[in-house]
A = this chain, B = another copy of it.
Amino acid sequence: MNFSDKMDDYKSWMSGINSPDPHFLHMMVIITDIERSLRFYRDGLGMKLLGGFDVEERRVTALFVGYKAGAMAIELAYYWDHPADPVTHGTGFRHIALGVPRLEETVARLEALPAEIYMRPTTLVEGMPRAAFVKDPDGYLVELFQTLNA
């Protein structure tokens, strides 16, 4: 998969999010199958592929997925020579949390991919919106909160 032609997209996206104020750009995770991850984040969670590029000398493809150009994104890094071994998860990083307008619908769509539903929609803390947990194809936990004003 070659994303070299998207380098300019990434540059313009990168410059587009610049502002005098400090802000979050993205979080980076290793993936082991580009198409499988895109199914999860794009088809399942409804994110857009915001940009991507190959870094030839490091033999890696970096894809940026998110809901809006200029806002927080996830960088999915696919190393061309990665071993077939799955990525490992330490005890430190736990999950990424998203707000979604239709929690049940989103969970059903992910389940149909299929993706692993780690915890079905429930009320975690009294008075807070309902939430669910799903796992991305490499095992990263994603917490989904029902937004209130949908």
The interface of chain A, by Cβ under 8 A from chain B, is: 11, 14-15, 17-30, 45-47, 55, 66-68, 71-72, 75, 77, 87-101, 125, 127-129, 138-140, 143, 145, 147-150
Contact = CB atoms under 8 A, between A and B. Distances in A.
How many copies of this chain?
2
B140 A18 contact: no
Contact of A95 (B19, B28, B45): B28
A72 to B, nearest CB: 4
A28 B97 CA distance: 8
A28 B145 CA distance: 14
Contacts of A55: 125
Nearest to A28: B94
